[in-house]
Chain A
Amino acid sequence: DTGVSQDPRHKITKRGQNVTFRCDPISEHNRLYWYRQTLGQGPEFLTYFQNEAQLEKSRLLSDRFSAERPKGSFSTLEIQRTEQGDSAMYLCASSFVQSYEQYFGPGTRLTVT
């Protein structure tokens, strides 16, 4: 499968714990995006990378959130000191710089108890 992959698919954690998600984009896609989707809502933009550079972060991304894309390949999204409000589906998407089409992964569903 050459699509966007995300790991894990599901994560249950207790409030206050740290969690890390991984996204592997489509090979050679320069841009990588993170979105968050809560129940009854469409995905909301969190941040994006062009190669290894993080170029924009949404105001939704509090200081407890950090994302990296070392070497411009896979990306990780870490949430520190999780809160119940962080429960959501975290989606990753990738694209070429010159393309407006984004391809989405299956998402990681986070449940904070």
Chain B
Amino acid sequence: DIQMTQSPSTLSASVGDRVIITCRASESISDWLAWYQQKPGKAPKLLIYRASNLESGVPSRFSGSGSGTEFTLTISSLQPDDLATYYCQQYDRYWTFGQGTKVEIK
């Protein structure tokens, strides 16, 4: 099975900060990686697909990069509405999620 490891588990940042979340796959998944945002009591929402493609309607402050085994999600300027938990998901072979990164606002 492909394992996905995210870091950090929690991060605290100020409004306007640049935030970077990392996701590592246990083996190469090419660019078959998605990023999700989940707010309390809600289903996950797709932000990025195929590692670097922004889902329609998602603010341009979100971006993704990487391929193979190393991936990043960047929020260029953190906003209060970005308070959430973020998950990476590989869909190269079946589906596996990272353990999540909780983003808190200082």
Are A and B a genuine interacting pair, yes or no?
no
